[in-house]
C-alpha cells in the first residue's frame, strides 16, 4: 500500500508512542498487556489507513465537475460566495470522516486564478458556519470554457492542518491532487447557478472518480 508523503511525521510520532506504550504495558502488565496492545495495534493501523493513496482511474469530461474528496454530501444550496465570485452560486459541501481518503483533488480542469489561506476557528466540519469561520484555504479555477469554480478546504474540530500545493497560474487537471487535510474535514465547491447538479445530500463520493455536476455549455 502506498502512503501519502504527508504521513512521514505523523507515522514517526505514532511509531514512537506505540513502542513506548507497548513496552510499558508488557513490563508492568505481563499477560494482561494484551488488553492494551490490541487497541494500540488497531489505532496504529488506522494511522496507516488514513494516509493511504488509492490507485484510481480519473473521470473525464470537459464540463464535468468531479468530487474533490472522498466523503458524504452534506449540503447543496444557493449561497452568496463573497470571497472571489462575489455573486450567488450553488454550494456543494462534502464532509470527510477520519476514515476517508483525505487527498484533495481539483474538481475541474483549467488555470488556478486565485488562492488564499485564512486562519480561523475549529468548529465541527459539518457546521454551516465552518465555511466562513474555520481555518480554510480558498482556491479558484477558470476552465477553458471560462467557468469560474471556487473550492474551499476547511479544517474541522479534529483536522488542524491544511496542506495545499497550488499557486495562481498553475494548470489544474480534474481529479489530480492539489492538497491534503489531516484527520477529518470538509470541502466546499461553489458552482455557477446554471450548473446541473448530479448528486444529492447523503451521497457517498469517491474523489476524482464520481461526477457531482455538469457545467453548462458556453
Rounded-to-integer distance, Cα 71 and Cα 51, Å? 15
In the DSSP assignment, the letter for residue 3 is B
DSSP 12: H
Alpha helices in the chain (DSSP H): 8-29, 34-50, 130-133
Say which residue the cell 494482561 belongs to.
32
8 Å CB contact between 79 and 117 = no
Q: Are 91 and 199 in contact (CB under 8 A)?
A: no
Which burial class, exposed, middle or buried, applies to 203 when counting CB atoms under 10 A from its CB (0-12, 13-18, 19+)? middle
DSSP string, 154-199: EE-SS---EEE---TTPEE-TT-EEEEE-SSEEEEEEE-TT-EE--
For residue 7, indicate whether it is catalytic.
no
Location of C-alpha cell 463573497: 82
How deeply is 31 buried, as exposed, middle or buried, from its count of CB atoms within 10 A (0-12, 13-18, 19+)?
A: exposed
Catalytic choice (7, 93, 166, 185): 185
Task: List active site positions.
Answer: 185
Amino acid at each position: 500500500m502506498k502512503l501519502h508523503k504527508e504521513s512521514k511525521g505523523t507515522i514517526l510520532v505514532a511509531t514512537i508512542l506505540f513502542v513506548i506504550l507497548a513496552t510499558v504495558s508488557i513490563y508492568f502488565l505481563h499477560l494482561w498487556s494484551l488488553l492494551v496492545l490490541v487497541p494500540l495495534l488497531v489505532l496504529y493501523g488506522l494511522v496507516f489507513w488514513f494516509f493511504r493513496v488509492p490507485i484510481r482511474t480519473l473521470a473525464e469530461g470537459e464540463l464535468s465537475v468531479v468530487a474533490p474528496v472522498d466523503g458524504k454530501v452534506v449540503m447543496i444550496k444557493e449561497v452568496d460566495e463573497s470571497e472571489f465570485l462575489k455573486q450567488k452560486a450553488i454550494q456543494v459541501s462534502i464532509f470527510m470522516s477520519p476514515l476517508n481518503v483525505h487527498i484533495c483533488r481539483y474538481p475541474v480542469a483549467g488555470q488556478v486564478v486565485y488562492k488564499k489561506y485564512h486562519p480561523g476557528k475549529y468548529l465541527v466540519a459539518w457546521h454551516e458556519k465552518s465555511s466562513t469561520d474555520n481555518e480554510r484555504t480558498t482556491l479558484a479555477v477558470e476552465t477553458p470554457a471560462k467557468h469560474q469554480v471556487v473550492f474551499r478546504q476547511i479544517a474541522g474540530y479534529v483536522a488542524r492542518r491544511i496542506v495545499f500545493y497550488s499557486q495562481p497560474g498553475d494548470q489544474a487537471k480534474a481529479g489530480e491532487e492539489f492538497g491534503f487535510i489531516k484527520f477529518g474535514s470538509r470541502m466546499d465547491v461553489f458552482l455557477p447557478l446554471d450548473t446541473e447538479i448530479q448528486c444529492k445530500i447523503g451521497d457517498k463520493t469517491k474523489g476524482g472518480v464520481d461526477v457531482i455536476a455538469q457545467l453548462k455549455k458556453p
